[in-house]
Structure 1
Amino acid sequence: MTASQFEELAYLYEQSFEVWPYRRDVEQYSVIQALGDVTGLAALDLGCGSGGYTRLLAARGAKPVVGMDGAAGMIDYAWRREAEDPCGASFVRHDAAEPMGGAFDVVLAVHLLPYAETFDALVAMCASARSALAGPGKRFVTVTINPGFARDPGYYRRYGFDLIAPSAELHDGDPIRLHSEFRGGTIDVTPHYWSRTTQERALLQAGFRTVTWWDPVCSPTADVVHFSDYLRTPPTLVVTATA
């Protein structure tokens, strides 16, 4: 996936947290649980998009906080939001597959790994996250597509999006369509399928020592009944990898 696919989507990505409750009550809540206490930790949001999770890291006490993305439109939007409502984060245009100096205690990447089109690109993204960590014991937290996501047409539509597989049986690298329409705009992007085994292999090859998979969890203040189908067959999973 090229960065240009995201150039015009920053506003919609930002608005999706307000429009679709799953982003706040399940996805974001699950990320917070996986991150734990980040107070005083140097944090990187890799593939930060419009900067929503970058600002979340800052709000939860991480410092310094940096958001990185390869799409100029996303970074420009993130800087404009920072100017309007400062949180103390900074934003840098940087390809998520390029290595960097290790200066961070935690690296977060939400919806990044599925946009690797090849196994080598997947390893490069994982290696970039590993290179950003300051040393052993530091953590990488990422949200990735669940290889066992529901194949039934329209299964996730009540939550605001469609996740469409080209066939019932998927193989590593196969394209998947993610489609959502709201507030007069359309998000229509092409992530890729990667099995658990392949994603773990990429993370270990990139230098991580341990890999743990987590099912998403629902905020106790949310409508659990509404999210029952989502949680039964979640579209995404959380992965933590330790350097």
Structure 2
Amino acid sequence: MHDDDSPAARWEQRTEIPLFLASLIFMAAYATRVLAVNLPSFWQNLCGFTLLAVWLLGFADYAVRWRLSGQGLRFVPTHVLHTVVVILPLLRPLRIVPLYDVIQRRRGQPRLSLYARVIAYAGLSTVLLGFSGALAVYQQERGAPGANMRTFGDAVWWAAETLSTVGYGDITPVTFLGRVIAIGMMAGGLALLGAVTGSFSSWVMQTFTREGDEPRPPGNTPGA
């Protein structure tokens, strides 16, 4: 965590919302290139330029954060989310995680409890990861020899199966890159599922423990 008056904290508060909006533009441009098969070349090129521009913007932001942190190489393992979204631009909408904290600091409002934040973040991250993964796999699988993922709807269904760890096996990627993406989504699905179930279990245990420790009113003790 940065001090509120540090250059790194000020940079984060000024750039987090614009970068999140840029990440949504990146997602829209990529989805357009993948799903709009008959898109005129002008719009295809415009989407490609948008993807490149947002990607470079992300690298520039990462470099500035690295410089302002003063941590050197330690910045990479201590800022895993920023590192991941720079390497994998499709995951840029996951900036919603630090975005909430930035907004709360600006407004001075009380934050949600830790458990509620983890569940909300994990739920939104699952939707974003599923949509991104469906787009990426569909781009690799459509038209590939032996592929049974013929429509984007098939890709969405496959993503839901994968992230929920159900895995019916009715639709499977056959290309190398498709399977690499599938491995990443399996790992992400397990991590998100573990975060939600672990946080919910901890919240339930804390609630029951707190209720059990509350003093009983006179006359309601067992055996009275």
Range into which the TM-score falls when normalised by the shorter chain: under 0.3
Higher RCO by CA contacts (8 Å cutoff, separation 6 or greater):
1
- Structure with bigger gyration radius: 2
| TM-score after normalising by structure 2 | 0.22
| Higher share in strand | 1
| Higher share in helix | 2
